[in-house]
Amino acid sequence: MEKILKKLFGLLTIAAIFAVSCPCSVPASGNQGFLTARQSMVEAQIVKRGVTDSAVIESMLSVPRHLFVPEKYISAAYHDTPLPIGYGQTISQPYIVAYMTEILKVGREDTVLEVGTGSGYQAAILSALVKKVYTIEIIPELALEAAHRLKKLNYKNVDVKNSDGYYGWPEHAPFDAIIVTAAAGHIPPPLVKQLKKGGRMIIPVGGSFMVQSLVLVAKDKDGTITTENVMYVRFVPLTGER
Ligand code: SAM
């Protein structure tokens, strides 16, 4: 832990120097430019806003976000904003990805379900933190692209499926944690059922294209469900039969 924090602060110092010395908002070409932009993103958007979990921070520092966005948005990949990924969908704002990951409190031996693969970025962030990630995407083209991208980038413990995530992935349930990255009108009962006792689910709940509540659902050791609104967010809608 101490080692990770030392490393992080070393990286953040480099990022701070870059922020002072470079007036540009577009990363310099090449991997070093992207690494520096990523360090700046983590410091200014994530650590400053209160994310403290060192494993989450480490993962946000290591995943090359610019490889998860369409080419025309590469220069904006580390900006404090969601970005279009095609088919009317978005890759979420970096801070929201970090916050939702942190609040799940996942462990190295956990199995996690994600609903809403999109670009595959959130799944890649989870990949380093847990044993296995199952992720479901309803748009076939996005599911295929994300599966190829994750394979090419060597995220070996992520399985992508094209289907309606409202119904979860019962063959691999129960899950230690579930993350839903599209806004649902209500909390899907199949997902609650597929959550392990002692598990946590984070899900935006509310109407399409309105401000929604980000809800933390906890299932305690005897199966009792509690919910808590943790912040207001704006996500694309959960589509599908329901
Ligand atoms: N997590 C993604 C990432 O890291 O790029 C961003 C997710 S984007 C905000 C929401 C995604 O949920 C979209 O790709 C959308 O097609 C997908 N989606 C919407 N309804 C769905 C459903 N019923 N089942 C599975 N995926 C769904």
Is the distance from the beta carbon of residue 135 to the nearest atom of ligand 1 less than 6 Å? no
For residue 96, give the nearest of 83, 77, 82, 110 by alpha carbon: 82
Distance (angstroms) between ligand 1 centre and the Cα of 41 equals 23
How many angstroms does the Cα of residue 199 sit away from the middle of ligand 1? 22
- pLDDT, residue 26, reads 46
Amino acid 208: pLDDT: 83
Atom of ligand 1 nearest to the CA of 236: 9
Phi, psi dihedral angles at 35 (to 5 degrees): -65, -45
Q: What is the pLDDT along the chain (242 residues), one digit of tens a residue?
A: 444 444 443 433 333 333 323 333 445 556 889 999 999 999 999 999 999 999 999 999 999 999 999 999 999 999 999 999 999 999 999 999 999 999 999 999 999 999 999 999 999 999 999 999 999 999 999 999 999 999 999 999 999 999 999 999 999 999 999 999 999 999 999 999 999 999 999 999 999 878 999 999 999 999 999 999 999 999 999 999 77
Chain Cα centroid distance, residue 31: 22
Pair of tokens at residue 233: 């967010």
Distance CA 51, CA 20 (A): 23
To which residue do tokens 């969908």 refer? 89
- Name the nearest CA neighbour of 94 among 34, 52, 41, 135: 41
Ligand 1 centre distance from Cα of residue 36 (Å): 28
Q: Where are the domains of the chain?
A: 2-74, 85-233
CATH classification (class only), 85-233 = alpha beta
Cα–Cα distance measured from residue 149 to residue 145, given in angstroms and rounded to the nearest whole number: 6
Rounded Cα gap, residues 68 and 111, in angstroms: 23
Q: Under 8 Å CB-to-CB from 27, ≥6 apart: which residues?
A: 33, 34, 36, 37, 66, 75, 77, 78
Per-residue confidence (pLDDT) for residue 241, from 0 to 100: 72
List residues with catalytic annotation: 92
- How many residues are recorded in the chain? 242
Nearest CA residue ID for atom 17, ligand 1: 116
* pLDDT for the residue numbered 29: 52
